[in-house]
Chains A and B, each alone.
Chain A
Amino acid sequence: MSRRLPRPSVVFTIIVLLCLYAPIVIVVLYSVNKDEALLHWEGFTWKWYSQAFHDDDVRKAFGVSIQVAILSTLISLVIAVTAGLWWRRASRRARRAVDGLTFSRIVLPEVVFALGLFVLFRKLDIALGVGAIVVGHVVFISAYATIIIQTRLATMNDTLEEAAADLGASPWRVFRRVTLPALAPAVAVAALLSMTFSFDDVIASQFLGGPNAQTLPVLVLGKIRLHLTPEVNAIGVGLMVITLLSFTIAGLIAMLRPTGAGSVLGLGRRAR
Chain B
Amino acid sequence: MQTTRPAAAQTTPPGAEQAPSRAVRGLGRHTLALPSLGWTVLFFVAPLVLLVLYSFGTRNVLTYEVEFGWTLQNYSDVWHGLYIDALLRSLALSAAATFACLLIGFPVAYTIARAGRRMQLVLLLLVMVPFWTSFVVRTYGVFNVIGDRGPLQQLLKALGLVGGDIHLLFTPVGVGIGIVYTYLPLMILPLYVALERIDPALLEAASDLGARPVRTLLRVIVPLALPGIVGGCVLVGIPATGEYVIPQILGGGKTLMIGNVIADQFLEIGDFPFGAALAMVLTAIVMAILLLVRARADRGETVTS
A-to-B contact residues, CB < 8 Å = 1-3, 5, 9-10, 12-13, 16-17, 19-24, 26-27, 30, 39, 75, 78-80, 82-83, 85-86, 88-92, 98-99, 101-102, 104-105, 107-113, 115-120, 123, 135-136, 138-139, 142, 146-147, 150-151, 154-158, 161-162, 164-166, 169-172, 174-175, 200, 202-203, 207, 217, 220-221, 224-225, 232, 236-237, 239-240, 242-244, 247-248, 260, 263, 266-267, 269-270, 272
Q: Within 8 Å of chain A (Cβ to Cβ): is B223? A: no
Q: What are the 9 closest A-B residue pairs judged by CB atoms, nearest first? A: A23-B141, A109-B242, A116-B47, A154-B8, A86-B32, A83-B36, A247-B132, A165-B23, A236-B137
Contact of A79 among B30, B39, B134, B252 (CB under 8 A): B39
Query: What 1/0 flags go to B92-108 for Cβ under 8 Å of A?
Result: 00000000000010011
* Alpha-carbon separation in the docked complex, A107 to B16 (Å): 32
A30: which B residues are within 8 A, CB to CB? Answer: 144
Say how far A244's CB is from chain B's closest CB, in angstroms.
Answer: 5
- The verdict on B60 contacting chain A, using a C-beta distance below 8 Å, is no
Binary contact track B12-46/A, C-beta < 8 Å → 1, others 0: 11001100111110110110111111011001111
Are the C-beta atoms of A83 and B248 separated by less than 8 Å? no
Complex: A236 Cα to B141 Cα, angstroms? 9
> What DSSP secondary structure best describes chain A's contact surface?
helix
Pairwise interchain contact B140-A82, C-beta atoms closer than 8 A: no
Contact A26 B144 (CB under 8 A): yes
When distances are taken between beta carbons in the complex, the residues of chain A under 8 Å from B1 are 263
**Residues of A with C-beta under 8 A to B43:** 117, 120, 135-136, 138-139
Cβ–Cβ contact B282 & A154, under 8 A: no
* Closest chain A residue, CB of each to CB of B7: A154
Q: Contact between A155 and B11 (Cβ–Cβ < 8 Å)?
A: yes
Report Cα–Cα, A113/B66, bound state, in Å: 19
Within the complex, the shortest CB–CB distance from B50 to chain A, in Å, comes to 6
Which residue of A is nearest B147, CB measured? A38
The residues of A that contact B45 with a CB separation of less than 8 Å are 101
Residue B129 CB within 8 A of the other chain:
yes
Determine the residue in chain A with the shortest Cβ distance to B145: A23
Q: Are B37 and A98 in contact (CB under 8 A)?
A: yes
Chain B residue numbers with a CB within 8 Å of A120 are 43, 46-47, 50
With A138-B43, A158-B16, A169-B23 already in contact, the answer to whether A243 and B132 are too (CB < 8 A) is: yes
* B38 → chain A closest CB, angstroms: 9
Question: Would you give 5 A-B contacts (Cβ < 8 Å), ordered by A?
Answer: A13-B108, A101-B37, A109-B242, A161-B21, A269-B193
Contacts of B136 in A (CB 8 A): 200, 202, 217, 220-221, 224, 236, 239
Whether B137 pairs with A151 at a CB distance below 8 angstroms is no
Report the bound CA distance from A118 to B275 in whole Å: 12
B75 within 8 Å of A (CB atoms): no
A174 to chain B: closest residue by CB = B23
Known A13-B112, A202-B136; 6 more pairs at CB < 8 Å: A27-B140, A75-B39, A83-B32, A118-B266, A172-B27, A244-B129
The chain B residue with its CB closest to the CB of A121 is B47
B47–A165 contact, CB under 8 A? no
Instruction: Tally B residues with Cβ within 8 Å of A.
Output: 102
Q: Mark B138-160, 1 if CB is under 8 A from A, else 0.
A: 10111111000101000000000
Q: Are B135 and A202 within 8 A (Cβ)? A: yes
> Is there contact, CB below 8 Å, between A154 and B11?
yes
Residues of B within 8 A of A12 (CB): 107-108, 111
Asked if residues A221 and B266 are in contact (CB atoms below 8 Å), the reply is no
Q: Please give me the residue from chain A that is nearest to B110 by CB atom.
A: A9
Of B128, B137, B282, which contacts A112 at CB under 8 A?
A: B282
Judge whether B206 is part of the interface by a CB distance below 8 angstroms.
no
Instruction: Find out whether the CB atom of B24 lies under 8 angstroms from the CB atom of A139.
Output: no
Residues in B with CB closer than 8 Å to A107 are 238, 286, 290
Closest Cβ–Cβ distance, residue A114 to chain B (whole Å): 9
A83 to B279 Cα, complex, angstroms:
29
Q: Which residues of A contact B115 (CB under 8 A)?
A: 1, 5
Q: Which residues of B contact A13 (CB under 8 A)?
A: 107-108, 111-112, 123
B151 touching A150 by the CB < 8 A rule? no
Give the docked Cα–Cα distance between A195 and B290 (Å). Answer: 28
Contacting residues, chain B, for A272 (C-beta < 8 A): 4, 7
Known A12-B108, A119-B51: A91·B30 in contact at CB below 8 Å: no
Are the C-beta atoms of B245 and A82 separated by less than 8 Å? no
Q: How far is the CB of A39 from chain B (nearest CB, A)?
A: 7
Tell me whether B71 is interfacial, beta carbon within 8 Å: no
CB-CB < 8 A to B305: which residues of A? 263, 269
In this complex, what residue of A is CB-closest to B22?
A165
A195 nearest CB across to chain B (Å): 13
- Which residues of chain B are within 8 angstroms of A111 by Cβ–Cβ distance? 242, 244, 259, 262-263, 279, 282
Residues from chain A with a CB closer than 8 A to the CB of B107 are 9, 12-13
Q: Which residues of B contact A92 (CB under 8 A)?
A: 17
B210 at the interface (CB under 8 A from A): no
> Which residues of B have CB within 8 Å of A174?
23
